[in-house]
Amino acid sequence: MMVVQLRVILEEHRIEKLTLPTGIPDTVEELISIVTQTFQLHGEFGLLYQDKDFDNQFFSITSTADLYDKATVKVILKEPRFTLDLHPVCEPGPSSTLSSLTSVSTHPASTTEMDISPADNDASSQASDCTSSSSRDTIILPDSCRLSAWPLPFQVPEFSRDVELILAEANISYHATGRHFMDASIKSAIMQDLAKVIFSYTAYPTNEQILSVAEALVSKFPCLKEPGSFAGLYGWQQRIKNKMHNYRAKLRSRRYSYPEIEINTLKKKHPADAVPSKNVKKPKKAEVNYLPPHPTGENQETLEKERLELICEITKKNNAKIIADKMNKTFSSRRVEVVSLSPSVGVFKERWPALFTEAQVRITDHFSLPPRNIHAIR
3-class DSSP assignment, residue 356:
helix
Cis peptide bond N-terminal to 370, omega within 30: no
Asked whether the beta carbons of 343 and 333 are under 8 A apart, the reply is: no
List beta partners, residue 47: 75
pTM higher than 0.85: no
Tens digit of pLDDT per residue, the chain (378 long)?
688 899 999 887 788 999 988 888 888 888 988 988 888 887 778 899 888 888 888 888 888 888 988 899 998 877 555 455 554 544 444 333 333 333 333 333 333 333 333 334 443 444 444 444 433 444 455 566 777 788 888 999 999 999 999 999 999 999 999 899 989 999 999 999 999 999 988 888 989 999 999 999 999 999 999 887 777 888 899 999 999 989 888 887 776 667 777 777 766 666 666 666 666 777 776 677 778 888 888 888 899 999 999 989 888 888 888 888 888 889 888 888 888 888 888 888 899 998 888 777 654 433 333 333 444 344
pLDDT at 376: 39
**H-run or E-run covering 19:** strand 14-20
In the chain, domain spans:
4-77, 161-253, 300-363
pLDDT at 276: 64
pLDDT cut 70: percent of the chain above it: 72
Distance CA 217, CA 209 (A): 12
Residue 255 neighbours by CB under 8 Å, 6+ apart? none
Q: How do strand 14-20 and strand 57-60 relate by DSSP bridges?
A: unpaired
Distance CA 206, CA 358 (A): 35
Asked whether the beta carbons of 311 and 319 are under 8 A apart, the reply is: no
pLDDT at 300: 85
Pick left, alpha or beta for residue 318 (phi over 0 → left; psi -120 to 50 → alpha; otherwise beta).
Answer: left
Distance CA 134, CA 137 (A): 6
pLDDT at 111: 34
CATH fold of the domain at 4-77? Ubiquitin-like (UB roll) (3.10.20)
pLDDT at 362: 54
pLDDT at 85: 52
DSSP 73-126: EEEEEPPP--------SS--STTHHHHHHS--B---TTT-B-------SSHHHH
Residue 149 neighbours by CB under 8 Å, 6+ apart? 201, 286, 288
